[in-house]
Structure 1
Amino acid sequence: MITILTRYLTLFVLTLLVLAALSFSLAYLFPGDVLTNLTGITPQNEIQREALARQYKLDQGYVFQFIHYLGQLLNGNWGYSFISGLPLRDEIGIAMPATIELSTYAMLIAIVIGIPVGYYAGMKSYTTADHTINSISLFSYSFPVYWLALVFILVFSLELGVAPLSGRISLLFDIPNVTGFILIDTLLVKDIDRSLAFRDALHHMVLPTLAIAIITTAAMIRLTRRSVIDVLSRPYITAARSRGLSRWQIFSRHILRNALLPILPLMAIQITTLITNAMIVETLFSWPGIGNWLIQAIYQRDYPALRVGMLAVSTLVITLTILIDLFNRLIDPSREKYERGTV
């Protein structure tokens, strides 16, 4: 166990160092003067330029600049936004939970619906029910998430008027940012109608969550169905049938757990797609998440925000991927002898 944790910790640290190096190099890849890209200030004379260069260690070699950059990141000094003038740490601390909330609810829907339906389709493999479920999931998975979100906006917001067009909650409610999850924060706030605020936040969340969840659910159905079909072809299933076990006994004792284990590593792959789709949907629904925040930074050429924002998103994806894979190894130790050296 200690060996596995050490390997994962080493992988995590090395990956973060590579990401930090790429983030550091962006200051030199952005168009324009490096000093101006970092500070947002155009030096008026050589004295001001030298003072700013000393402050950001630009008068030293790249290695010392990178070490200084790492120290600033670890100390929580991530710089300031050119546009708002606020610390980037605070802005990311507000935007990132909004993206995580949207992705979490979409993944919960995919798990609650996708896995049971996938099990059912696998158990009914190559029947009419299976073909119907497989066709619907394939059809749903083929939708581009931005197109699906635009259709939802057109139909439910503009035509029917049953869902809000944009935003996270109505402007009538002033909800302080406590946890970053709007549904939880509406229940923690005082001096307002909590139930009304909760329903309003839920109303705003339905369309963007469904736009992400439909595609993720379709992928989960197909992954689960394939896993169940693979398990049904194993020799121990034939042996269980020959012993006279009922269909339910075979399912509960042999199929349920063995079909679920291969799905967990694939869920780690879906994390990247899920967060990417969430960031796309945010821009269409004006959801104040990290994706919408990065798009605004691109439009306004807020280079420090772009540099730290992309590092934050990459760190989130890597962290979730490694945690899911580590959890899978903990519940299925037999993987270790087959996958030694892959991490």
Structure 2
Amino acid sequence: MAQDQLPAPNTARKILHIDLDAFYAAVEQRDFPELRGRPVVVGGAPNSRGVVATCSYEARAFGIRSAMPASQAYRLCPEAVFVQPRFEVYRAISLEMRAIFLEFTELVEPVSLDEAYLDVSARSLSFDSALGIAREIKRRIRETTGLTASAGVSYNKFLAKIASDRNKPDGLCLILPEQGRNLVADLPIRAFHGIGRATEAKLRALGIERGRDLQRWPLARLIRQFGKAGEHYHRIAHGIDERPVLPNRSRKSWGAETTFPTDLSDKAEMIASLARLAEEVLRRLARQGLEARGLTIKVKYDNFQQVTRTRTLDHPFRDLREVLPHLAELLDRTAAGTRKVRLLGVSFSSLERPSPAGQLDLFTLD
């Protein structure tokens, strides 16, 4: 499709993106008043090999960011308060927030515990009306949870997400259809939601620094460089994103990982760790009534280089005994053992419901 053949954006839609500000850290500051106004880091301890899950805005002022090693966060701000996450509390608040969303629309697509897309087109004939709904949702979240949320309103998901990030914390922003393309033109590529660091580096190597640079590239050339994703980049560069809000979006995979206190070099220890992780995930899948045909292991070496290895069967994994040989084989396809390992992870994908005949015992090991 040539650039001049781009479809007209569907400006009749009214899409909201809502997310809680610095969620985990905000909950800790809410529940423990002595933490208010202080740099709070939720995640691993500063003397551990853990990472930052999130941090308060006071901590962000020191350059601390999510996914940063906790030890690095400590070096940036030794006076920060490091706290362990309380996921059961965060999940309960997430349910409260989603209950509020459902009072306004059934078209709610959760993205994570603290954010979601909402399609309020059926209730909003104008963007002023949609903005009013976003304002009321923010008020209800603060009233119910004591937390602040930022909201973005626009005619598609990409721009609603961009809008919600513009005035944090406690922000509210509207991007109108006539503003979309020009706003994207001025946007740095690093601010494009869905474009990660590796893709950003590739785009910048091609001379694409901002949305306007991306707008100049023909679709065919983007597809040659980025495959199918090139078409998505082409559309969002022009403010077009027809992805629907999917209220019943199914989770594609379940996983777990662990970072070791000291690097592992013994493969037997690695297999034992992978088995424990696999068992944990299989139990979670069983509670959800799911089976999986896909298995992936993640290995992070001591220099932080990361690799994954995947196996997909033509039938679901029935028990942990069936998983174990695949774990060993996938690990053999990495440099683990010859190189030290700081993190291991296991995830299951290609999820499906079990047959009516029922499941075998997932965890029996003779």
TM-score for the superposition, normalised by structure 1: 0.23
Q: Which has the larger radius of gyration?
A: 1
Higher-strand-fraction structure: 2
Q: TM-score of the superposition, structure 2-length normalised?
A: 0.22
The structure carrying a bigger helix percent of its residues is 1
